[in-house]
Chains A and B, each alone.
Chain A
């Protein structure tokens, strides 16, 4: 746990309640719902728009906007390096940042399976608060529903968000051209393997941590400096970097060349993948982005990014090419060539 998180939790002691677990009544919209929300949710996430406690949020926005939504179903809800709460905030914040937007307001909806411990719910709320503060966004509207035991998996969260487009941003895959460099902002596969390690009950010498984090400040800084030379930003969450690169190659009708040796990956994560028979290029990421940038600024971009805490392991991993349109070709460790395709369905662990 980071210092910031510990401080926050000390400042936000759990309120005293006359119930320990959340029951169906807490989602009824009646007395119990109000009891739950008044117990601290509103105080914790307080801001002038939310405090109106109206049916929806009312606010002023000007200029071009980005709008994004995402649902979070991660199991387990607490994992090494984070929990579902911060994931839900960072996920939508980062989706907005990938559009070149400066995230401002979020909606926050919970679907809770009855029986969730209030203490766990509180920990998730605190994580949401911490993540919102770090990203500089406010939760302005929300909803809470409770479903019967067995109809959910502890808690599902949906967040939607809006943000105004950075004045210098011109993000579109249409701007990508042959020669562009493909840059990944950090080590790949950490989040997916952190989740796998707890889900599958695997233990490693040192804990693999998820890298869930908000990227909007990092992105904003890069846009300040490099503006329209940043052609595309995208976050390789589910499906891993392979899926994102393949999707991009297909949409731009150009090819991408890359080499396995250039991929930044933590040794521990690489071994875990090896052990489980998973290919790290298909493993989910959080707190990571891929940028397609003009070749003329690629080195400066990389240098700037590497000075940022969220980009210290950044690397140039590939080049856009007119050869083999729609195909991503990766040079293997020993110099052979392979085609990188999308993940069909789930990545299932192999027998041997």
Chain B
């Protein structure tokens, strides 16, 4: 890993960036992993003042709709349900409480690293309903799909997923379409492209005349990605380039895509803080309805209003910086988040909070 964190190389990239830039540019890193890397490594302060990084909606935890979180909490509190989830969903605020609080009330909530573990838990607990909270971008979709395929093959009657999958390219399109947005170029998320390939980005780049560079997550990846976007901008080019070519292939991973398409179909999806984006999510196909927690449990929970003080939508569209929020570091802290970007370490607000010295003294 150290080869992607070499301080000498970093210096070279930074010098190159300074040489390249002749005017102000705004670049959005779409993925929360990149936001985290930018802030954790102190990159934002190392960039010349002409370069503004705007932190995109690429934190799946942050954009999972409030209503789905309420549903997950409701399910978790059911007597015979084991709710399995990735760890960072647990602190995300629902309308009344979060999953950690539900756990403290007695809900059986388990933190897993892979949905396949949840399938095993379902096998071991035939008298319980095991629900996996399947959240994430295209990156986690293949494993979530595979868990359904496995459960189907094993004829399990007690496994289902509560799916809230979001897709990156439609979100980029929505961000560009937003009238207030002033983004000149994009770093696209390397991990997502590992699965889906680069194909979907070419029409975006061509239609909107924006450079899109598929970028990794290590500090040097991010610096190189920024440099590649800047070079295109300065030369008035707009194309898709692949910084992360050591991992990402043009066509992505066809096997993984096959798994996704077997289990999921594309649908309109609500993004917390942003609203509905057409064709930007996955839902379980009707053939696998038995494994779809939404159909299986038919939970009706009324839509709750968001905390009116939270401006997460504007932050995720890049219209405001976290410290421009009146509640940032005041009412809203990682220990008491008003909105999701303050929860996950990949959320822009939490990243700023952790690494900017705004700490409870």
Contact = CB atoms under 8 A, between A and B. Distances in A.
Given A200-B113, A334-B219, A351-B86, A344 B41 contact: no
B334 A350 contact: no
Contact of A351 (B39, B91, B140, B359): B140
Contact of B191 (A246, A327, A352): A352
A58 interface: no
Interface stretch (B4-12, B69-77, B124-132): B4-12
Interface string A169-213: 000000000000000000000000000000011100000000000
B45 A337 contact: yes
B113 A202 contact: yes
B136 interface: yes
Contacts of B7: 261, 333-335
A121 to B, nearest CB: 26
B136 A351 contact: yes
A69 B303 CA distance: 48
Contacts, number: 103
B33 A352 contact: yes
A336 B41 contact: yes
A166 B111 CA distance: 45
B61 A351 contact: yes
A75 B166 CA distance: 35
Contacts of B355: 338-339, 341
Contact of A345 (B41, B91, B111, B359): B91
Given A202-B113, A344-B333, A344-B334, A336 B359 contact: no
Given A337-B45, A345-B335, A350 B88 contact: yes
A200 B113 CA distance: 8
Nearest to A348: B87
Contacts of A332: 40-42, 219
B1 A250 contact: no
A334 B17 CA distance: 15
B117 A201 contact: yes
Nearest to B356: A339
A337 B43 CA distance: 8
Nearest to A276: B113
Q: Bin chain A's interface residue count.
A: 20 to 34
A149 to B, nearest CB: 16
B88 A348 contact: yes
Interface residues of B, number: 50
Task: Identify which of A270, A326, A331, A348 gathers the most chain B CB atoms within 10 Å of its CB.
Answer: A348
Given A351-B88, A352-B139, A336 B361 contact: no
B39 to A, nearest CB: 7
Contacts of A15: none
Interface string B193-220: 0000000000000000000000000011
Nearest to A274: B1
Interface in B304-361: 333-335, 344-346, 353-357, 359-361
Contacts of B83: none
B135 A334 contact: no
A276 B345 CA distance: 13
A271 B135 CA distance: 24
A341 B361 CA distance: 10
A342 interface: yes
B60 interface: yes
A250 B87 CA distance: 30
Contacts of B2: 333
B172 interface: no
A221 interface: no
B226 to A, nearest CB: 13
A336 to B, nearest CB: 2
Given A351-B135, A352-B191, A336 B345 contact: no
A304 to B, nearest CB: 30
A349 B86 contact: yes
Given A201-B117, A202-B113, A352-B191, A334 B6 contact: yes
10 contacts: A332-B219, A334-B220, A336-B41, A337-B45, A339-B359, A341-B354, A344-B335, A348-B90, A348-B91, A352-B33
Interface of B: 1-2, 5-7, 10-11, 33, 39-43, 45-46, 60-61, 86-91, 100, 111, 113, 117, 135-137, 139-140, 191, 219-220, 223, 333-335, 344-346, 353-357, 359-361
Given A333-B5, A350-B346, 7 more contacts: A277-B345, A336-B43, A341-B354, A341-B355, A344-B334, A351-B86, A352-B140
